[in-house]
Structure 1
């Protein structure tokens, strides 16, 4: 199989996730294109999918104490009569390149929710498998855990049979972080640090405020930093080509913008040496301010004065460009049509697609016009197979052509036709989707 150790950063490119037993989600599998779209009527469960992915990745990184709390979160436990008591399952497929060989990584876990006071939440199962991406290659099991025992592969030539002691609310991938000698140590470390960023149309103004307080561990370019001007300043200093790219694509969407300027203002207030060693933050000796020069204005203005949509778009573009530095595998954008004028939406999607490197984008929408600008292969349609349960399904290849033809026959756009069918309980979805939605 070859050694899996490599100096430097391993990029984990997420390819798919499987979610089950979370709120109203039942066996939802999302395969990621560069851009993936969850399309459904309002209040169907699109945001639940994003929350479930966020939860799944956060659970991996959480402490044992936090894991126990997460498994007891009554707001997330399925309460639908068809799903009550179902365990939470999370699985993800990833690609990573090691020693010039591309590997597919399959990792998943399952736990039992704390559904009542007497119940004890615990990890039911966990597994990690890898295989070279070449056709015909089989998976090699690296972790195999059930409710009774936990095993891992300790050497390249051995089997997955070495025992490891883990607590009920502890994952094997957490325990193995300290095992630097295992040949897949870098994969374990990277999985423990994978990030998912959610942009949910909240007020973005706070991200543009000067802030000298920096959380420890986020001193460098960090995709989740709370002070975007500082991050942009670091981008300008460390990677001027990417900074120029950010300005270029932003000006493509907002033609009135002539320039984006970020300035550093130093002061003598950096008193981090006076803070306790265990303080979770440091105090910088400078603040940063982001300005925008508009051709219709006499002087540059603070970026915080821009419209909410303009601020959100800039933040999303910056986070995509910075994704690799922060090990961000997936960025979610809820209802991106709320950020740009309809006439610019297609250009916005095209720019996002061109910027993507190893990061994936998932968007949600209940807008018919958005669908018309998306590749049909990107779309996962939200349809209920049982009352109150949300499922998302891709369009068949033949279904994509049929959808286009039927929309044309009814003199409707694809988006309008799709949403008219979503609102019709008698629609024959099996003609379009990759599953029998009436089973």
Structure 2
């Protein structure tokens, strides 16, 4: 599956936000403009799709998400995805969306109030409706290839028709329904303390078909060990990228250490289950050292880069369509950013990456068409817009005339703008 566009409204300070996705896209803005809110809202919107009925009720009551901005008070949450997937024979474009009303104080629970799925194959001229729902109790779906989207499907107010149709094994588009139900996106936060990401006792000590699943933070060492054993070509690629990016690192190897080995343990004792106590480390050979050392000895920024690149290749292996990265520039030297961005795209494959940043350095390494900039608004809602293509040359010229970088020029422009500034409509769309 590939995701091409996401629309969100009615959560935090987000109103009618639309994000187009490239191989690498970026949300650029000073602090407190809503960049993090967009990433959290995307994660929430996807998680809601696969959540249990009980969990959905809880999510619709989550007070930390319900908007209190005056422009959004009482507004429903709306979420829409555009993308494409293949059933092995054909490639389909799709638009899937849903909306629900948030729980209100002293009122009934939140409830799903709308849902739709439209798809078309490469041979179709226009989209066809597969799911249509405009109230809480009933949805309509397409039951046969030659029919219309008119078959009734009774639904409760806390279940998506998408979830219910996943049990219809004979549905002619069941593969598409199940792909949407399995949709997964992953978010990597700011990683302010990357020192805690390695050197942990893992709860697993074996390598099996699940070992290459997208790892939790505490399992990165185990994941690298599994990657080396189960996907040596991917491991070799990761090693090439890491050592090419962090030039003082000549080599690294994951190691697995059984903590019982040097302690009096009766290995021959016939236990029905022996608790795994395996420690995973990554041994690193740096150019100027005469021996391998634990990864804990390298810098925090290097550990962060190592960690991020490992998760990027994990996302690609698991065919996760979207990876969200917050403030990539934290702990990373500006001169490394360009190469890090290139490395992420190289490892990500078909996984798209959306990053946030408040760094002027990042701007000069990205194509203008792949960035959205946070614009000030009178209502205090998030407003992210693209730079008009015909204004790119002017921005470059102005930055050169002022003897500043393009990033510095853009941030000065954004910080100096007020809500009614004519520059907003002149430069942004």
Asked whether the 8 Å contact 2:87–2:176 carries over to 1, the reply is: no
Asked whether the 8 Å contact 1:193–1:327 carries over to 2, the reply is: no
Q: Cα–Cα, structure 1 residues 214 and 195, in superposed 2: closer, same or farther, change >3 Å? A: farther
User: Any idea what the Cα deviations from partners look like across 1:416-438, whole Å, max 9, x if unmatched?
Assistant: 1111111122351111111xxxx
- Deviation, 1:200, is 1.4
Q: Given the two structures, how large is their TM-score scaled by the length of structure 2?
A: 0.90
Asked whether the 8 Å contact 2:60–2:109 carries over to 1, the reply is: no
- Deviation, 1:307, is 2.5
- Would you say 1:431 and 2:426 are equivalent positions? yes
Matches of 1:218 and 1:346 in 2, distance apart? Answer: 35
**2:310 alignment counterpart:** 318
Map 1:312-351 onto structure 2 (within 5 A): 312-351=304-343
- Structure 1 stretch 342-351 or stretch 302-311: which is displaced more? 302-311
Secondary structure at 1:18 match in 2? strand
Q: Given the two structures, how large is their TM-score scaled by the length of structure 1?
A: 0.88
Gaps of 5+ in 1: 1-11, 276-282, 435-439
- Would you say 1:144 and 2:144 are equivalent positions? no
**1:7 alignment counterpart:** none
Q: Cα–Cα, structure 1 residues 212 and 423, in superposed 2: closer, same or farther, change >3 Å? A: closer
Q: Cα–Cα, structure 1 residues 286 and 269, in superposed 2: closer, same or farther, change >3 Å? A: farther
Asked whether the 8 Å contact 1:313–1:339 carries over to 2, the reply is: no
Instruction: Select 2:228's aligned residue among 236, 249, 267.
Output: 236
Secondary structure at 2:321 match in 1? strand
Asked whether the 8 Å contact 1:269–1:285 carries over to 2, the reply is: no
**2:160 alignment counterpart:** 171
Q: Cα–Cα, structure 1 residues 207 and 157, in superposed 2: closer, same or farther, change >3 Å? A: farther
Matches of 2:31 and 2:165 in 1, distance apart? Answer: 42
- Would you say 1:223 and 2:218 are equivalent positions? no
- Would you say 1:78 and 2:67 are equivalent positions? yes
Matches of 2:12 and 2:268 in 1, distance apart? Answer: 47
Q: Cα–Cα, structure 1 residues 296 and 419, in superposed 2: closer, same or farther, change >3 Å? A: same
- Structure 1 stretch 415-424 or stretch 193-202: which is displaced more? 193-202
Matches of 1:218 and 1:304 in 2, distance apart? Answer: 29
**2:283 alignment counterpart:** 291
- Deviation, 1:219, is 3.3
**2:264 alignment counterpart:** none
Gaps of 5+ in 2: 261-266
User: Any idea what the Cα deviations from partners look like across 1:53-85, whole Å, max 9, x if unmatched?
Assistant: 010011111111111111111111111111111
CA RMSD of aligned residues (A): 2.5
Matches of 2:92 and 2:202 in 1, distance apart? Answer: 41
User: Any idea what the Cα deviations from partners look like across 1:174-232, whole Å, max 9, x if unmatched?
Assistant: 112222211222222222222222121233344323434259x9932122333111111
- Structure 1 stretch 109-118 or stretch 190-199: which is displaced more? 190-199
**2:263 alignment counterpart:** none
**1:41 alignment counterpart:** 30
User: Any idea what the Cα deviations from partners look like across 1:17-47, whole Å, max 9, x if unmatched?
Assistant: 0000111111000000111110011111100
- Would you say 1:248 and 2:243 are equivalent positions? no
Secondary structure at 1:48 match in 2? helix
- Would you say 1:207 and 2:197 are equivalent positions? yes
